Amino acid sequence: MEGSLLGWKVLRREREADCEYVVRGIPELSPEEEAVVLELKGEFREGSRHVEVAAPEEVKALLLDSLRAICMRDGITLDAEQEKYVADAAFLDVCGHGVLQPLLDEKAFEEIAVIGIGKPIYAYHRERGWLRTNCLFTREDTAVEAINRMARPLGRRVTFRQPRLNAVLPGGSRLHASVPPISGVEMTIRRFRESPISIGDLLRTRTYPAEALAFLWLAVQSDISLIVAGNTASGKTSTLNALFSFVPLGERVLLTEETPEINIPQEHLVKLLANPELGIGMAELVADSLRMRPDRVIVGEVRTREEAGALFETILSGQARGSFATFHAQSGEEALARLRAMGIPAMDLRSLDLIIVQRRMARFTPSGAPAGEIRRCVEICEVGPSGEAVRLFDYDYGTDSLRRVAGGRTLEKACRCFGITQERLVVETALRASFLAKLAKSKAGFSGCVSAVQEYRSKG
């Protein structure tokens, strides 16, 4: 791939056949057009140093005026179409993140990945999966500058001495990047939806059936502790967010995380962030929480022995009406085996009530062609008397359905909490499942689902 004065390219039309997502509006610029863009950027930045611009459209108008002045001064002739895309190309660098900006503007993309210099940038579409785009970086320094520009508001940057960066951007997206000598420059931007996944979304996408969510609703109200386990990008955090729709909005929630991801509806929320660089880990934050009288505790994503110990410390202390976390495991048994390997004794494992297992699974056509991905809850397990996984709901891959296979002590705990018999609890589960199914059909957003659930609870 030939170089570029700008350090990035949008490939021209005849090369688009190799791409699965095509950025329109900015064609591949000629060397002469790139030189004009560079001159325009330089003059605009110099002339606008002390000018406050209120909106992007104003910047575009000023860039277009500056471009016409440059063309008149230097005797350059551009037609109307050229004027527009040359000014738009300059705008990407002046007010955006260069060639990344059109991809960041596409709301359907969940992840954007730079895999090297001169290689196509890939984007993960929530319905179509990974797509090869017609955008790429052509110079290492430009890609590094894009990384550092994103991380600048955080006071972070990548250098030869610090070639790795993991950060949460101001908008909530997660940025991972590395540069030589670790890699040939790679970057992954994981984006989160502006509106969190709702209970209705979980039903509409068939991630959960109504009966399973009704069961979890009763369980959460019964002061249980649970973890949401699964593989990478299976939607663990999204499900945990949605489950807090079932928690009364007035409860005091303590959230401890290393990377802020969880976005729950409760207003009485205390967020504590671990900072390994300062020597403040999850264990210290959980110790602090013992003096804070929370109603619910979330220990974020459990990945290490320390974090597993912190989760079980808060469960065993009995300080809250339920403790919650996410965890990497693809079955209930695997989750418990990993926790034992992290030093949690079988006796302590019994203090954990439920393990929800969610998976991201590929789908293929009969011919073997990719047909996208689905996210499904594949198990809801209790922790048995000996620290084993006891399945209450199990996924049937043939029928693509999650079915109840057992009762369990969680139901007994719910009966005690609500002061009703198991027969009445079965009726209540069915009523809530019917309510949730209607809620899904209403297509209410996150806030609408939270309000509807809370109103249902208030009516008894």
Last residue of a domain, one of 142, 169, 190: 190
pTM of the model as a whole? 0.81
* Res. 50: pLDDT tops 50: no
Same domain for 252 and 302, yes or no, is yes
Same domain for 136 and 204, yes or no, is no
Instruction: Give the pLDDT score at 380.
Output: 98
**How many domains in the chain?**
2
Any idea what the CATH number is for the domain that residue 97 is in? 3.30.450.380
Long-range CB contact pairs, 269-278, < 8 A, 24+:
270/294
Any idea what the CATH number is for the domain that residue 331 is in? 3.40.50.300
Q: Is residue 1 part of a domain?
A: no
Q: For the chain, what is the mean pLDDT?
A: 88
Same domain for 259 and 156, yes or no, is no
Q: Is residue 20 part of a domain?
A: yes
Same domain for 289 and 431, yes or no, is yes
Same domain for 281 and 244, yes or no, is yes
Same domain for 133 and 14, yes or no, is yes
Which domain range does residue 45 map to? 8-190
Count of alpha carbons within 13 angstroms of residue 416, beta-carbon side = 8
Same domain for 184 and 204, yes or no, is no
pLDDT, tens digit, for every residue of 338-396?
Answer: 999 999 999 999 999 999 999 999 877 776 666 678 999 999 999 998 899 999 999 99
Distance, in Å, from the CA atom of 66 to the CA atom of 47, rounded to the nearest integer, reads 9
Where residue 3 falls among pLDDT bands split at 50, 70, 90? low
Q: Is residue 3 part of a domain?
A: no
Same domain for 339 and 424, yes or no, is yes
Please report which residue ranges of 317-387 form alpha helices under DSSP H.
Answer: 332-341, 346-349
What tokens appear for 91 in the block?
């705008």
Same domain for 186 and 204, yes or no, is no
Q: Which residue has the tokens 């973890």?
A: 227
Same domain for 228 and 131, yes or no, is no
What's the average model confidence in pLDDT over 260-275? 88
Q: Is residue 365 part of a domain?
A: yes
Instruction: Give the pLDDT score at 54.
Output: 53
Same domain for 229 and 348, yes or no, is yes
Last residue of a domain, one of 157, 172, 190: 190
Q: Is residue 452 part of a domain?
A: yes
What's the average model confidence in pLDDT over 96-103? 91
pLDDT, tens digit, for every residue of 330-339?
Answer: 999 999 999 9
Q: Is residue 411 part of a domain?
A: yes
Nearest Cα residue to 121 out of 141, 103, 101, 135: 135
Same domain for 154 and 57, yes or no, is yes
Last residue of a domain, one of 190, 225, 258: 190
Q: Is residue 2 part of a domain?
A: no
Q: How far is CA 25 from CA 87, 119, 125, in A?
A: 11, 21, 20
